[in-house]
Amino acid sequence: MNNKEVRVRFAPSPTGGLHLGGVRTALYNYLFAKKHGGSFVLRIEDTDQGRYVPGAEQYIIDCLEWCGISPDEGPHKPGPYGPYRQSERKPNYRKFAEQLIESGNAYYAFDTPAELDSMREQFKSESNPSPQYNSIVRDHMKNSLTLSSEEVKKLLDGGTPHVIRIKIPTSSDVHLNDMIRGEVIFNTDQVDDKVLLKADGMPTYHLAVVVDDYEMKITHAFRGEEWLPSAPVHVLLWEYLGWKENMPLWAHLPLILKPDGKGKLSKRDGDRLGFPVFAMDWEDPKTNEITKGFKEMGFLPEAFINMLALLGWNDGSGEEVLSLDELTDRFSIERIHKGGAKFDFEKAKWFNGEWIKRTNNDTLLPLIKQIFQNNGIDAEVKLLQQIIPMVKDRCHLLNDFIQQSSFFFIAPAEIDTASVKPKWTENKTAFFTKWIEVLQSLPDWDAVIIENEFKKMAEAEQIKPGELQLPLRIMLVGGKFGPPVFEIASLIGKSSTVSRIQNGLQAIEQA
């Protein structure tokens, strides 16, 4: 770190929804940058024109903003090291690839995809199911190592499609000092001659990540563990380009795994198991298929990032509910785990419940109002202000407010008569019929008064109040849930209470 300003980057590909793992990588970048007073850069790695998805970039920016971890520099927020889209940096890469050819660390390769296929077919064997373009194979291929310089020049001048590959040295060890994993050693005999510059002139990830990290003065590079196997290529590139001194410190993050089976979490798992995998709703522009996001599922951003931060890291204190500021304060790379963590949606919901409880009612209000609106209910603000503190403790998701309080605004569509019908008796019908009259004559409409009257009358009728309270609840809210029943009655008002009892009685009789 030696006095250099900390600069980190989150470098996603704009290929679709932003995955949990991606958000966590962005989050760790953000936490680390903020903790050290550094800069957090967003770089769009759109070098694969075939996988580019329009709208994905803006979506990523929106997700980060929702999470409260917006980058300091990026395509949306120009800084001194732009442009921040690799496609716009295209002219930049070729010269470095050619510089590598110049220094003997790379070469032109003219093999067609078909020739590569047949090579793989030819070298494929029981003991080597996936042959690589390596030091042995390259001698049998069409490249500037096997062709004469005249032939190469002719091909180049003739505009023959070609790529530039790194020339991996034989039998040497590449050392990588990972901040999380310590020293990892790779033998170059296991590494293949990766393509650096594609036939379309675009760099591959391998070249682009090194060039851009260098030019953007990145000091610490976080990425998923799936990148570890290609790390030696990157280390070699830093060396060959003469930038070794400036190579960022690497941190390969553990993966987020499927809750059940094995393997890394994918969008499919979310669909299959019924929980979101993306930060926010993602609509595929091709198919118009919408994949649910945590936001729309009713998560608070504070809870979402809190849960993610703790998936693979903790501060050792045992405290789990932490704000972004607290996370920033406590974050440390040394405490990031090495092993992958299975995602647990139940725990995620618990985090959200905790955050709903500790979020101001005023902050909650517009969110809840919006959710009601989405459900076709125009919730009156004054009423909401009374309802939110009453029900927030029973909600794990913001959407739970619908189940827990929609009956304040509209009469229940369905009534759970099955819970009361078996124990229903004639005298209960009589009770409620009479009770309606009492209610109508009540001068003041107040929860305590209603409750007292209710109990008084139950006693007079010689029925246990408990036997009557559940039916009353069912009639007012539709089921066995919600806050104290007399408070509900008080809030929905006399006429609604009376009409719901009337309808309820009818429904129970008919059931």
Partner RNA sequence: GGCCCGUUGGUCAAUCGGUUAAGACGCCUCCCUUUCACGGAGGAAUGAGGGGUUCGAUUCCCCUACGGGCUACCA
For RNA, which is the closer residue by CB, 261 or 443? 261
Which of 58, 190, 332, 373 is in the footprint of RNA by CB under 7 A?
Answer: 190
Q: Which one among 18, 38, 45, 432 touches RNA, defined by CB under 7 A?
A: 45
Question: How far apart (Å, rounded) are the C-alpha atoms in residues 398 and 280?
Answer: 14
Instruction: Give the interface segment with RNA, choosing from 56-64, 234-242, 344-352, 439-447 (CB under 7 A).
Output: 344-352
**What string marks each residue from 400 to 439 as x (binds RNA by CB under 7 A) or -?**
----x-----------------------------------
Stretch that binds RNA, among 146-154, 261-269, 421-429, 493-501 (CB under 7 A): 261-269
Out of 25, 39, 132, 406, name the contact with RNA by CB under 7 A. Answer: 132
Phi, psi of 187 (to 5 degrees): -90, 130
How large is the angle between the packed helices 90-102 and 205-215, nearest 10 degrees?
100
- Binders of RNA among residues 145 to 184 (CB under 7 A) are 161-163, 181-182, 184
Beta strands in 129-243 (DSSP E): 163-166, 173-178, 182-187, 195-197, 220-224
Active site residue 35: no
Pick the binder of RNA from 87, 99, 146, 314 (CB under 7 A): 314
CA angle, 321 as apex, 360 and 347 as ends, to 5°?
Answer: 105
- 447 belongs to the binding site for RNA (CB under 7 A): no
276-281 long-range CB contacts below 8 Å, 24 or more apart? 277/17, 277/19, 277/20, 278/17, 278/18, 278/19, 278/20, 278/63, 279/17, 279/18, 279/20, 279/23, 279/63, 279/66, 279/67, 279/304, 280/18, 280/59, 280/62, 280/63, 280/66
Q: Are 308 and 20 in contact (CB under 8 A)?
A: yes
Residue 47 lies near RNA (rule: CB under 7 A) = yes
C-alpha separations of 117 from 121, 252, 370 in Å? 6, 32, 54
CA angle 223, 226, 232 (to 5 degrees): 80
Q: Is 225 in the site for RNA (CB under 7 A)?
A: yes
Least distance in angstroms from the C-beta of 414 to RNA: 15
Q: Which of 78, 104, 229, 242 binds RNA (CB under 7 A)?
A: 229
Choose, from 267, 421, 455, 494, the residue flagged as catalytic. Answer: 267
Q: Which residue from 35, 36, 48, 82 is in contact with RNA, where contact means CB under 7 A?
A: 48
Shortest Å, Cβ 164 to RNA: 9
DSSP 8-state code for residue 85: B
Determine which residue in the list 37, 318, 422, 443 makes contact with RNA, applying CB under 7 A: 318
Q: Which stretch binds RNA (CB under 7 A): 5-13, 285-293, 322-330, 378-386?
A: 5-13
State yes or no: residue 294 binds RNA (CB under 7 A).
no
> Which of 133, 222, 238, 294: binder of RNA (CB under 7 A)?
133
478 lies in the site for RNA, by CB under 7 A: no
Residue 48: C-alpha distances to residues 69, 208, 256, 299, 418 (Å):
26, 12, 25, 33, 58
Q: How far is the CB of 185 from RNA (least distance, A)?
A: 6
Question: Is residue 296 part of the contact set for RNA (CB under 7 A)?
Answer: no
Q: Of the ranges 8-16, 76-84, 442-450, 491-499, which one interacts with RNA (CB under 7 A)?
A: 8-16
The alpha carbons of the chain give a radius of gyration, in whole angstroms, of: 32
CB 21 → RNA: shortest distance, Å? 11
121 burial level (CB within 10 Å; 0-12, 13-18, 19+)? exposed
Active site residues: 267
